[in-house]
Structure 1
Amino acid sequence: MKNLWRALPFSFILLFLAGCGKQNLSALDPRGPVAEMQYSLIILSLLIMIFVIVVVAAIYIYVLVRFREKPGDNHIPKQVEGNKNLEIIWTAIPIVLLLILAIPNVMDTFTLAETEPDEDSLVIEVTGHQFWWEFEYTDLGITAGQDLYIPTDTRIIFDLEASDVIHSFWIPALAGKQDNVPGITNSLWIEAPEEGVYQGKCTELCGESHWLMDFKVIAVDPDTFEAWAQGMAEPSEELIEPADEVAAEGREVYEANCLACHAVGGEGGNPQGGPDLTNFAEREVIAGFIEWDADTEYDGEEVSALEGWLREPQEYKPGNYMPAFGHEAIDEDEMASLLEYLDTLRVLDDE
């Protein structure tokens, strides 16, 4: 029973770590060539370690049993030193194991380091901010925030940068981690053979809300991606001049309060501002992690998650640079029209 109580803390640690899979942030379910290469190296390393553990444990058990002290046997075993054959064996085996691990490591390292774009590649500049992600499609002339759209079966090259502190870009199902360092450009490439939504995250402690710095990679077929890119580059007039009266009033509220930091259809925003909002209503979450259909409370009243975020952003992401828009800045009627306008910001048709 005493030993059971000693094991209890470790049980809690394992239970806590099990919860880390909630967002499917696992490198053990590879979905692309880069992740598959890295996964194969993980498995190879694991097999080598298991082999070493089994061999050492077997030798230990053999020696323990073979040379154990027997009742009535008090003689001192013959003392020996030096055995050329054994020394060669236990020197050669680790070298062979290291070579088995090193050769594929070196080969894959050179393969992953090939980040020069070709005519079929798509280059995306990824900038980490406190605490959101900016994606600039340099060849297409468009910028997106939080949701990273990519075409399937296409080599995607990321040029990674940071605007403030060190961040780290990680899409576990598609590739390993790479740092975003201010003043330095790091690169990596991925390829998504299947359509789907892949969870991404910052893995470098970058401030108070580092743990909320999530993003999504949305892999779609090339035709859908082309339609999305076209909609981002040349959004409909409805986004700029909504036909709906309430949404039009919301556009005016947006221009008065949000245009300096957030762009819609290429209008507004600044390099140190917030994410591009052109396709804001297509996102599954607000601010990278807040569910759209969630309700919250502000000033004693129940409000939508989006309104709660606009009213008190520091309550959701402490340390971010989003200003708070209380009732004195945007009254209830203006907020209602702004929410209506934000809900129109789409570039893909609903299916």
Structure 2
Amino acid sequence: MKARLSKWRLFSVVAMLALVLSGCGEPFLSTLQPAGEVAQTQYDLMILATLIMVLVIIVVMVVYMVAIVRFRRKKGDTKIPKQVEGSHTLEIVWTVIPIILLLILAVPTVTATFQLADTKAMDKKDKDGNREALVVNVRANLYWWEFEYPDEKIITSQDLVVPTDQKVYFNVTASDVKHSFWIPAAGGKIDTNVDGVNKFFLEFDGKKAEEAGGLFYGKCAELCGPSHALMDFKVKALPKEEFTAWVEDMKNAGEPKPTSDLAQQGQEIFSKKCLSCHAVSPQDGRPESARLAPNLSNFGERSRIAGVLDHNKEELKNWISDPEQYKPGNKMTGTYGNLQEDEIDALAEYLMGLKVQD
């Protein structure tokens, strides 16, 4: 009996710890620490729904306990409590109250749904014919992300760069199978389909971005294959001035120049074996169907390799040597032929030097 009681105590402690830890999260990753207008709206709706459910549970439990205590049959007591049947008052109460609770939840939910689905602003243009809003085309691939800024005519991969305190509108699609675009701290997920384009907007709060070090994490939220869990991307949220400077640097970026003899060898290898799929210029003019692999123009500035590995030369060499080990099912595996150790070293040297901003 004591052993069983001890197990129940241990189970209770573990359950309480799990409940407490479920509310923990980093500012760059947690939906419980909203970092923008959309995330805050969705968080408020979640809190409202939770409060309503907790209120209902408390009321039901109170009524239940009162019924148990007050009408508990006592020893020797054969009296039957007064039976209440067909009470119009009770029927009205338990019909009206749920309707009121549903309205309290439904009205703000429906209102927010229409507000968050309003993307008309992305089509507005000024007197010169320029679009007023910032628009980013997101294309999901197995297992990487492409971000195209159509008005700025630049393309990046794996790192999404956005300004803070400004609505950013997205056109999201997929090139192979269904994926789902999700930045937990900024807003809910949205599907990326191969047969259509979904539109929505996000806004990144400047103060919250500063707390997160200007970096948020994004993920694929739709099971898409063996490396679904590794389909990550990073979001760099910059103040407007810094974002404008980044755009100008990307627009004016020239052809990368190797900084050493080893990097020069790497560039030659890249031109022969990698350039048919990858690009090293943010002004990639190829059609979407020809962009088969991530744009590497600012590869040396990224914070991760392949979205999941530490950004250093050794991890890059590991990735080039055996990408299947780190992302099973990726399209890079086996497409470039076997490389010798010295070729991999030269290629890694060249790629780590690809930078747009010093």
TM (norm. structure 1) is 0.88
Task: Give the counterpart letter for 2:232 in structure 1.
Answer: D
In structure 2, the residue matched to 1:2 is 4
In structure 2, the residue matched to 1:57 is 61
Task: Give the counterpart letter for 2:262 in structure 1.
Answer: V
Aligned pair 1:157/2:169, yes or no?
Answer: yes
Deviation at 1:337, TM superposition (A): 1.8
In structure 2, the residue matched to 1:130 is 142
In structure 2, the residue matched to 1:252 is 268
**What pairs up with 1:1-351 in 2 under 5 angstroms?**
1-2=3-4, 5=7, 8=11, 11=14, 14=18, 25-116=29-120, 117=122, 118=124, 119-194=131-206, 195=209, 196-237=214-255, 239=256, 241-265=257-281, 266=283, 271-293=290-312, 304-324=314-334, 329-349=338-358
- SS of the residue corresponding to residue 187 of structure 1 reads strand
Task: Give the counterpart letter for 2:227 in structure 1.
Answer: S
Deviations 1:240-288 (A, max 9, x none): x325322222111111111011101146976351110000111111000
Q: Any conservation in 2 of the 1:227–1:348 contact (CA below 8 Å)?
A: no
Query: Structure 2 CA distance, aligned partners of 1:277 and 1:65?
Result: 71
Task: Give the counterpart letter for 1:308 in structure 2.
Answer: N
- SS of the residue corresponding to residue 290 of structure 2 reads coil
- SS of the residue corresponding to residue 78 of structure 1 reads coil
Q: Any conservation in 1 of the 2:267–2:347 contact (CA below 8 Å)?
A: yes
Query: Structure 2 CA distance, aligned partners of 1:268 and 1:10?
Result: 59
Query: Structure 2 CA distance, aligned partners of 1:150 and 1:348?
Result: 16
Task: Give the counterpart letter for 1:226 in structure 2.
Answer: T
Distance 1:63 1:18, change over 3 A: closer
- SS of the residue corresponding to residue 357 of structure 2 reads coil
In structure 1, the residue matched to 2:128 is none
Deviation at 1:23, TM superposition (A): 9.5
In structure 2, the residue matched to 1:300 is none
Deviation at 1:192, TM superposition (A): 1.0
Deviations 1:79-118 (A, max 9, x none): 3311000110010000000000011111111110111214
Query: Structure 1 CA distance, aligned partners of 2:285 and 2:135?
Result: 24
Distance 1:339 1:203, change over 3 A: same
Deviation at 1:219, TM superposition (A): 0.6
Task: Give the counterpart letter for 2:276 in structure 1.
Answer: A
Structure 1: gaps (5+ residues):
294-302
- SS of the residue corresponding to residue 263 of structure 1 reads coil
Q: Any conservation in 1 of the 2:25–2:32 contact (CA below 8 Å)?
A: no
Task: Give the counterpart letter for 2:293 in structure 1.
Answer: G
Query: Structure 2 CA distance, aligned partners of 1:148 and 1:83?
Result: 61
TM (norm. structure 2) is 0.87
Deviation at 1:10, TM superposition (A): 10
Distance 1:19 1:58, change over 3 A: closer
Deviations 1:200-255 (A, max 9, x none): 11110000100000111111122222222223233134x1x325322222111111
Count how many residue pairs are aligned between Structure 1 and Structure 2: 336
Distance 1:19 1:287, change over 3 A: farther
Query: Structure 1 CA distance, aligned partners of 2:150 and 2:117?
Result: 20
Paired-residue identity, %:
46
Deviation at 1:324, TM superposition (A): 4.1
* Bigger mean CA offset, 216-225 vs 157-166: 216-225
